[in-house]
């Protein structure tokens, strides 16, 4: 805000504040100063960088209060601000005009005064110089008063030419869709229902909180004026000003909240100065204020404990000194004789900023001076020793996951967390619901993703659109958060969930013929499974294996498809599935099926660090036997592997999957699963006649348990 040092001195006693002193005090106790410009007549213009939470400081009077508190000066309040009365007058403005506030939730209070017989002319020298000192151009004495009070108190106002208003009522309402208004700068704007307007009985005459209308503005022929002082919903003013690209000093202040409790004071000050510079008669005098809105809430009271203030600041600020500092900037302070606590009534201009004890303590620190607070040469810090190690392990484990995935030819992606409902709903697990954000902020895609797979499918489509077909297909993965909500009984109604997952997507190779399509899908599933198995073994150690259990997946996107749950021991990690459903592929406009997998990252990271063991190299040769079992198509490898483990074959050291075969001479609906069994004795060389009976016994068990036949 541009600020005049001479203007600040009008409110200070003694008022001999020098420019260098003003700069030093404001920067030490309030705000940074961007620039200093010397003006004629010994004045200086300061560009004070105000923060958005201090809407009260957008005024010379409140900035002077900060200076007075910091320097021990007192405040001089001119005219009605200091208790003077407005000149009396007969009549009642309610007999001439009425107010109809139809949106009190957006316009908490609207006030109006009527002044008759004014003479619109050039402003007096003192008024012109004050406005020019803060970069404002003088227009006429009526408009200049509005601008002066804006910079004096931080309260915008607007004056209408009473004769140009149709009817005898002002209506505060939302604009009708397509309604137009020509504003003071001559531009015509088309309004929407989200805009607020002040209207007479025929049309909109002002864009509420932003700018007045051209047709009802004060001109040289104006003799009677209606003075408006109001306050508006900050978000509404902000949105309208941005949409129409209208930047005004009034809109800037309303967007940072102007409190309704000070409106009467600002209205009286405007009326006082208009009568001083333009003459005329205030209808109804001091009592002639029309109001429409709601009653203000009582001013909040915050309790401050002096010992808490000392604890936070590290210095002792006596209660009397605290009361003096806070009183200087408008707080009401009462001490409790029994507890010593200070009950601080927050002034109207600060109720939106000061809500807690710590906020009041911050005011004490600022006004007392941060330079009085000592800075320790050392800072004692107590470390949670387990945290750094856990954090380090987690980061290393994620690096290992990335390394394994990229080594297998997968590219890491970073995608947006928002989806459309059509893309997100099919990937929402049963029993969970999508989380929807504010549709005004995310109109096209307002839903947080419940899975990483739809995000990866969008990546796949982008590569398809760019005609990217690398050898082996597109392979992508991502580690990111997913979101959903569930019912939480009667206590809260619902509970939001957020988890970090590992998502994987791989193209199914485009087979040369339809007969090989199934084999191509199986190869893609096997590659994803093998890659994830490498991730598990890398995180846990070589002895851990990823188990795959075919099952129905509880998400509509996988309905009727091939899917399986992924386990390590008894821990469920996630799922892998073939996405070949026509509806899902069509939704994402994909030309070929893909294999998708998603694992819970916390469960993966819990496997880290790897457990390693060292064993001597075998001194004697082992015996390997490939056993091929013909089983039903529905029998998974996991059942075969479990059968081998339960057989407890003597001297067996490993049982590994080799291959699956389908086709003649094996009948339809059956397949051949080959396992490689390795036997070894650490003390001697095994004989074949020690292994063969065990193989026969295993085949017999497989026939009984799985309906298997030995092939070949």
Q: Predicted confidence band at 138 (pLDDT cuts at 50, 70, 90)?
A: very high
Distance CA 452, CA 505 (A): 10
Does pLDDT of 551 surpass 80?
yes
Angle between helices 60-71 and 319-328 (to 10 degrees): 160
> Per CATH, the architecture of 389-605 is what?
2-Layer Sandwich (3.30)
pLDDT attached to residue 537: 92
CATH class for the region spanning 93-293: alpha beta
Q: Predicted confidence band at 420 (pLDDT cuts at 50, 70, 90)?
A: very high
The arithmetic mean of pLDDT across residues 160-183, rounded, is 96
Q: Predicted confidence band at 385 (pLDDT cuts at 50, 70, 90)?
A: low
Does pLDDT of 387 surpass 70?
no
* Position with higher pLDDT, 149 vs 638: 149
Long-range Cβ contact pairs of 120-123 (< 8 A, separation 24 or more): 120/218, 120/219, 120/220, 120/221, 120/222, 120/278, 121/278, 123/277
Q: How far is CA 375 from CA 31, 218, 370, 430, 642, in A?
A: 21, 57, 10, 56, 67
Give per-residue pLDDT as tens, 196-223: 999 999 999 999 999 999 999 999 999 9
- In sequence order, what are the beta bridge partners of 212? 206
Share of residues in the chain with pLDDT > 70 (%)? 97
pLDDT attached to residue 376: 76
> Per CATH, the architecture of 623-710 is what?
2-Layer Sandwich (3.30)
Distance CA 479, CA 318 (A): 54
Does pLDDT of 301 surpass 90?
yes
Does pLDDT of 492 surpass 60?
no
pLDDT attached to residue 493: 61
pLDDT attached to residue 384: 59
pLDDT attached to residue 638: 83
Q: How far is CA 414 from the centre of its chain?
A: 19
The arithmetic mean of pLDDT across residues 657-672, rounded, is 92
The arithmetic mean of pLDDT across residues 510-539, rounded, is 86
Give per-residue pLDDT as tens, 15-54: 999 999 999 999 999 899 999 999 998 999 999 998 888 8
Does pLDDT of 673 surpass 90?
yes
Q: Predicted confidence band at 377 (pLDDT cuts at 50, 70, 90)?
A: confident
pLDDT attached to residue 491: 53
pLDDT attached to residue 515: 67
Q: Do domains 389-605 and 623-710 have the same CATH topology?
A: no
Lowest mean per-residue pLDDT among 105-119, 185-199, 511-525: 511-525
Whole-prediction pTM: 0.58
What b/e sequence results for 63-100 when a residue is b if at least 16 CB atoms lie within 10 Å of its CB, and e otherwise?
bbbbbbbbeebebbeeebbeeeebeebeeebeebbebe
Q: Where are the domains of the chain?
A: 2-76, 93-293, 301-371, 389-605, 623-710
> Per CATH, the architecture of 301-371 is what?
2-Layer Sandwich (3.30)
Give per-residue pLDDT as tens, 500-521: 999 999 999 887 676 677 788 8
> Per CATH, the architecture of 2-76 is what?
2-Layer Sandwich (3.30)
pLDDT attached to residue 433: 93
Does pLDDT of 388 surpass 60?
no
């Amino acid at each position: 805000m541009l600020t005049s040092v001479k203007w600040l001195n009008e409110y200070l006693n003694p008022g001999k504040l020098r420019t260098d002193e003003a700069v030093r005090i404001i920067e030490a106790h309030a705000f940074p100063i961007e620039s200093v410009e010397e003006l004629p007549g010994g004045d200086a213009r300061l560009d004070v960088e105000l923060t958005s939470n201090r809407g009260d400081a957008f005024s010379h009077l409140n900035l002077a209060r900060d200076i007075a508190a910091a320097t021990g000066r007192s405040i001089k309040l001119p005219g009605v601000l200091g208790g003077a009365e407005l000149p009396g007058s007969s009549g009642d403005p309610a007999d001439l005009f009425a107010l109809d506030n139809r949106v009190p939730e957006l316009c908490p209070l609207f006030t109006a005064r009527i002044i008759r017989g004014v003479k619109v002319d050039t402003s007096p020298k003192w008024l012109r110089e004050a406005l020019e000192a803060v970069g404002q151009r003088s227009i006429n004495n009526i408009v200049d008063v509005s601008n002066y009070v804006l910079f004096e108190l931080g309260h915008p106002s607007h004056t209408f030419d009473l004769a140009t208003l149709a009817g005898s009522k002002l209506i505060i309402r939302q604009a009708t869709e397509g309604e137009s208004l020509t504003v003071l700068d001559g531009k015509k704007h088309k309004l929407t229902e989200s805009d607020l307007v002040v209207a007479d009985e025929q049309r909109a005459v002002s864009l509420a909180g932003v700018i007045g209308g051209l047709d009802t503005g004060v001109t040289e022929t104006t003799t009677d004026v209606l003075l408006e002082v109001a306050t508006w919903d900050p978000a509404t003013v902000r949105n309208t000003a941005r949409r129409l690209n209208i930047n005004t000093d009034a809109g800037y202040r309303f967007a940072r909240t102007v409190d309704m409790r000070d409106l009467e004071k600002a209205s009286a000050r405007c009326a006082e100065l208009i009568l001083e510079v333009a003459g005329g008669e205030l209808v109804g005098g001091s009592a002639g204020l029309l109001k429409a809105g709601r009653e203000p809430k009582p001013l909040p009271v915050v309790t401050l404990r002096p010992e808490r203030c000392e604890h936070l600041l590290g210095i002792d600020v006596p209660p009397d000194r605290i009361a003096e500092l806070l009183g200087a900037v408008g707080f009401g302070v009462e001490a409790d004789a029994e507890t010593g606590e200070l009950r601080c009534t927050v002034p109207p201009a600060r109720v939106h900023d000061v809500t807690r004890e710590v906020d009041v303590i911050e005011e004490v620190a600022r006004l007392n001076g941060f330079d009085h607070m000592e800075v320790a040469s050392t800072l004692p810090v107590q470390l949670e020793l387990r945290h750094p190690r856990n954090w380090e392990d987690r980061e290393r484990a994620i690096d290992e996951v990335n390394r394994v995935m990229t080594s297998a030819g997968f590219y890491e992606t970073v995608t947006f967390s928002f989806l459309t409902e059509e893309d997100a709903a099919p990937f929402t697990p049963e029993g969970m619901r999508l989380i929807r954000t504010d549709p005004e902020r995310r109109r096209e895609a307002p839903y947080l993703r419940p899975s990483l797979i739809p995000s990866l499918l969008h990546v796949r489509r982008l590569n398809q659109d760019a005609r990217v077909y690398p050898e082996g297909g597109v392979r992508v993965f991502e580690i990111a958060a997913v979101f959903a909500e569930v019912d939480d009984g009667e206590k809260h109604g619902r509970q939001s969930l957020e988890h970090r997952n590992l998502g994987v997507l791989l193209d199914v190779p485009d087979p040369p013929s339809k007969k090989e399509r199934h084999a191509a899908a199986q190869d893609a599933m096997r590659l994803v499974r093998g890659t994830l198995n490498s991730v598990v073994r890398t995180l846990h150690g070589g002895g851990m294996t990823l188990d795959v259990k075919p099952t129905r997946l509880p998400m509509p996107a996988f309905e009727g498809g091939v899917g399986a749950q992924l386990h390590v021991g008894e821990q469920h990690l996630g799922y892998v599935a073939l996405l070949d459903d026509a509806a899902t592929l069509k939704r994402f406009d994909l030309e070929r099926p893909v294999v998708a997998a998603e694992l819970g990252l916390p469960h993966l990271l819990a496997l880290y660090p790897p457990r390693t063991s060292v064993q001597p190299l075998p001194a004697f040769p082992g015996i390997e036997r490939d056993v091929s079992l013909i089983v039903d198509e529905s029998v998974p490898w996991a059942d075969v592997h479990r059968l081998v483990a339960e057989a407890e074959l003597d001297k067996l050291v490993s049982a590994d999957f080799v291959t699956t075969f389908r086709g003649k001479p094996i009948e339809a609906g059956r397949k051949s699963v080959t396992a490689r069994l390795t036997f070894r004795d650490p003390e001697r060389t095994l004989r074949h006649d020690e292994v063969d009976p065990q193989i026969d016994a295993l085949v017999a068990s497989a026939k009984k348990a799985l309906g298997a036949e030995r092939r070949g």
